[in-house]
């Protein structure tokens, strides 16, 4: 099988509508079946609107990347400059706040290409490590992060409505 290498580009505020649709689709595909429907719908209705995504795109603490195969958007990532949890010791550190691929493109190298773009961006900004939080029940995602040389350094909670989830805190050095 001849698999094309994803093209990674920086997202711009003009991409807000399309990025919001992609973000909602990938989040729904990844987690809708596992979370209380009301909590899930409320979170999605707030988090993935065009206006919300546009506000994140213009936030100077955020950097978004879009993965494309041919002309189709197949995934995205978001870096976010925020204070890391105390368990992340290698500073300065930047958060990989989102990394999602359309389900049918899992295994096509989309996640690895997006992560490489994030690492290159973080390296160019002199960050020493990159961290993320991932739901403990996100087995496929957690296996991917381990494969990409992330290690678990702690845990934290994430509230998705009334659903309080336990997340792993992963981190890795930026070489």
**Ordered per-residue pLDDT tens for the chain, 175 residues:** 456 889 999 999 999 999 999 999 999 999 888 888 898 899 999 999 999 999 999 999 999 999 999 999 999 999 999 999 999 999 999 999 999 999 999 999 999 999 999 999 999 999 999 999 999 999 999 999 999 999 999 999 988 878 889 999 999 999 8
The architecture CATH gives domain 7-173: 3-Layer(aba) Sandwich (3.40)
pTM of the predicted model as reported, rounded to 2 decimal places: 0.94
| Residue 6 CB coordination number (10 Å) | 23
Distance CA 124, CA 23 (A): 26
In the beta sheet, which residues pair with residue 64? Answer: 78
Cβ of 20: how many Cβ atoms within 10 Å? Answer: 20
* Domain chopping of the chain, boundaries: 7-173
Tokens of 117: 């773009």
> Within 10 Å of residue 51's Cβ, how many Cβ atoms?
10
């Amino acid at each position: 099988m001849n698999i094309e290498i994803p093209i990674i580009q920086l997202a711009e505020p003009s991409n807000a509508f399309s990025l919001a649709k992609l973000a909602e689709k990938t989040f729904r595909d990844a987690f809708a079946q596992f979370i209380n429907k009301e909590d899930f719908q409320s979170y999605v209705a707030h988090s993935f609107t065009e206006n919300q995504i546009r506000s994140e795109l213009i936030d100077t603490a955020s950097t978004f990347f879009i993965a494309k195969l041919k002309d189709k958007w197949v995934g995205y990532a978001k870096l976010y400059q925020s204070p890391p949890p105390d368990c992340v010791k290698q500073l300065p550190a930047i958060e990989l706040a989102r990394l999602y691929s359309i389900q049918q493109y899992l295994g096509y190298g989309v996640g690895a290409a997006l992560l490489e773009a994030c690492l290159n961006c973080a390296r160019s900004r002199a960050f020493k490590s990159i961290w993320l939080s991932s739901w403990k029940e996100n087995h496929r995602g957690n296996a991917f992060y381990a494969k990409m040389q992330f290690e678990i350094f702690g845990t934290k909670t994430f509230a998705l409505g009334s659903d309080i989830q336990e997340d792993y805190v992963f981190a890795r050095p930026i070489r």
